[in-house]
Amino acid sequence: AQSVTQPDIHITVSEGASLELRCNYSYGATPYLFWYVQSPGQGLQLLLKYFSGDTLVQGIKGFEAEFKRSQSSFNLRKPSVHWSDAAEYFCAASTGGGNKLTFGTGTQLKVEL
Amino acid sequence: KAGVTQTPRYLIKTRGQQVTLSCSPISGHRSVSWYQQTPGQGLQFLFEYFSETQRNKGNFPGRFSGRQFSNSRSEMNVSTLELGDSALYLCASSFADVNTEAFFGQGTRLTVV
């Protein structure tokens, strides 16, 4: 079955430190990949997407993600975290046939000042 | 350009009742998808509509239904509400019928008592 895995449920980093959130997918073919962020009680905001081409993609708010086919991974990174980055982050994937997204379980990011 | 609008934002219903949630997509978007978010099950795909046709359906009972109108606005209906239907219901819109990024609304928080 198609699935997306986010191994880390909670991550705590200090403000100014670097961040990497992990995401692995299990699909027959390479899916389209996305990272979303959700603040409490809010909807999901798209950070970045990977469809094809360059394996390092840039997103909003200083985030980037690297697609590694050999590892079936799409990890999210940020060089220097700000307190306002505290939120829940979701990795998602979709394949042909519409916009049906499969989400990971999310990673809750806490930023220590 | 207005984003995805979901109404109402909050709802409290009694077990056994039915409820209708509304979603207005971004202007020009023709695909609307619905998701249920709960602490236990995470984000789960309900269904997707494109040009008034349901194209994908998730693994939910028949009590969950939806439709899309000619102006791309969508509604979802849940009949015979159960306590377990309490969740944040998110709507997402996309421009095309192939894999493009989805933009989410703020969600409707449904509480069943």
Query: In the prediction, which pLDDT does B97 show?
Result: 66
Q: Are A23 and A6 in contact (CB under 8 A)?
A: yes
Instruction: Write the pLDDT tens digit of every residue in B19-64.
Output: 999 999 999 999 999 999 999 999 999 999 999 999 989 999 999 9
A99, A85 contact by CB (below 8 A): no
Identify the closest residue of chain B to A31 by CA–CA distance. Answer: B99
Examine the pLDDT at A105 and tell me if it is beyond 70: yes
- Is B102 in contact with A101 (Cβ distance < 8 A)? yes
- Whether residue B66 is predicted with pLDDT greater than 70 in this model: the reply is yes
The amino acid occupying position A17 is: A
Tell me if A99 and B48 make a contact (CB, 8 A cut-off): yes
Task: List % helix, strand, coil for chain A (3-state, nearest 5).
Answer: 10, 50, 40
What is the distance in angstroms between the Cα of B76 and the nearest Cα belonging to chain A?
A: 16
CB contacts, 8 Å: A49 with chain B: 101
Tokens of B65: 């239904």
* Average pLDDT of span B75-93: 97
Q: pLDDT value at position B2? A: 82
Over residues A12-30, the mean pLDDT reads 95
- The confidence score (pLDDT) of residue A99 equals 79
Name the residue in chain B with its Cα closest to that of A35: B101
Query: DSSP strand E in chain B: where?
Result: 5-7, 10-13, 19-24, 31-38, 42-50, 53-57, 64-68, 74-78, 87-94, 103-104, 108-112
